[in-house]
Structure 1
Amino acid sequence: MDLQDQLKNLFPDHVPSESPEKKEEPAFWLQEEPLICKYEKRKGKPITIIEGYNGATSDFKQLAKELKQLLSVGGSFKNEQIIIQGDYRDKIMSFLKEKGFKVKRVGG
């Protein structure tokens, strides 16, 4: 007896939907100028800063949230900059390129 049969026994009136609902990805405004991805050390700890986005602030905050979830690290959004804890420039740049952004690497 597989899981589908067990569910049918538990919920005989339920009709499963044909197509699973897909969660839409938020569409970000893509700009002509590249985003700046730079590396710094603050208080001896490495950080990665992304700046140069001139779209809506809410889009940039959503992008920061997605980056933090992707990398499983902490970070913040301050002064129109995304600050990610650690040196993740390569992963961040590949993620942003997949989203359709142009990215410029600065520092080191």
Structure 2
Amino acid sequence: MFEKAFGKFKREAYSEEADPYAIYSWEACAHVISLLMERLKSTGEYELALKVARLPFNPSLDNPKLGQTWLFPLFRDSLIQSSDLSNYFIMRDGKLTAAEWDINHGLIHAAARQRPIIYMK
């Protein structure tokens, strides 16, 4: 269910370009949380900002395992959580995503596409 909403159909990796609404799903679930935390911090509502910050990631769990601390569904994927960086540049449609970054400087999604672990860091 979540895979299709975030642009993973018959691919091994996610891409916000796979579906017209995938980019909006990423915005709603990842970026809005950051913006809301920033706004709450600027108004001095630190406790509420921490509660919002713990929606996708909560390291304060008792005896947490890596898969349990991430509450955001995409980051719970075992393939994403693996620390093997040998697949850092993943092939997509015969081209390296790094080449896409060279074409689209400043487009963050081009750098992090198919490597959601970058968002996690």
TM-score normalized by the length of structure 2: 0.22
More strand by share: 1
Larger Cα Rg: Structure 1 or Structure 2? Answer: 1
More helix by share: 2
Relative contact order higher in (CA < 8 Å, ≥ 6 apart): 1
TM-score normalized by the length of structure 1: 0.24
